[in-house]
Amino acid sequence: MSDVPDDLTGPVGDLDVDPALAAAVLEIEGHVADEGWDQPSRLYALVDTARLVEREPALAAATGLNDSSAAGSLTPVEQDQLPPEVALEAVLEQISWPEGVTGCAAVVERLVLPPGADTELPASAAEAEEFARAHPDRQDVRIVAGATRAGATYCALRLRAHDDAQSVVTGADLVPALVRLLAATLEDVHDDDPGAGSVTEEDDR
């Protein structure tokens, strides 16, 4: 279950968004969508591409990046696979990013119930999950949410029932609780090297 909007069948437009963050979130969404549904949650660091080109010229050359294409963009760097037994929200409450990380993004799949169905949920978390999966009007949704240190946020939502790129819903604050958690991970600054993680296919431009 998740705090996503009730109406997810049409596009949502936001003019006041960070275009670099929006591009990174949509890049991740497209990459993950190519791999299908029923995937584990994922976490990404978002690093300034120009800085990446400067620090990792061989990697930049291999992915077709140059000073022109890097200007003003963010590169997603996928982190180690998250433990499947721990909820994404619990993981986010325990992490912070080094100073060189400009932002972060997360991918998670959730079940969304129709309005009013929450009142029927059992008190037990396990029973509530089973209830949601068995509900005839449930919706499977994949959420990709991102945030930057500058305070920008962006989300992309895809319904399993409308599984095409044209039906992806986007907006700056579609999943407020999740973007707040992501933003909080960027508040504590460390001096560690930001290069942890491995650059994945979504970095190919």
Q: What pLDDT band is residue 60 in, cutting at 50, 70 and 90? A: confident
pTM for the structure as a whole: 0.75
The span from the CA of 99 to the CA of 181, in Å, is 17
* Average pLDDT estimate for 101-114: 86
Q: Which residues contact 153 (CB under 8 A, 6 or more apart)?
A: 21, 145, 146, 147, 172, 173, 179, 182, 183
- pLDDT of 168: 96
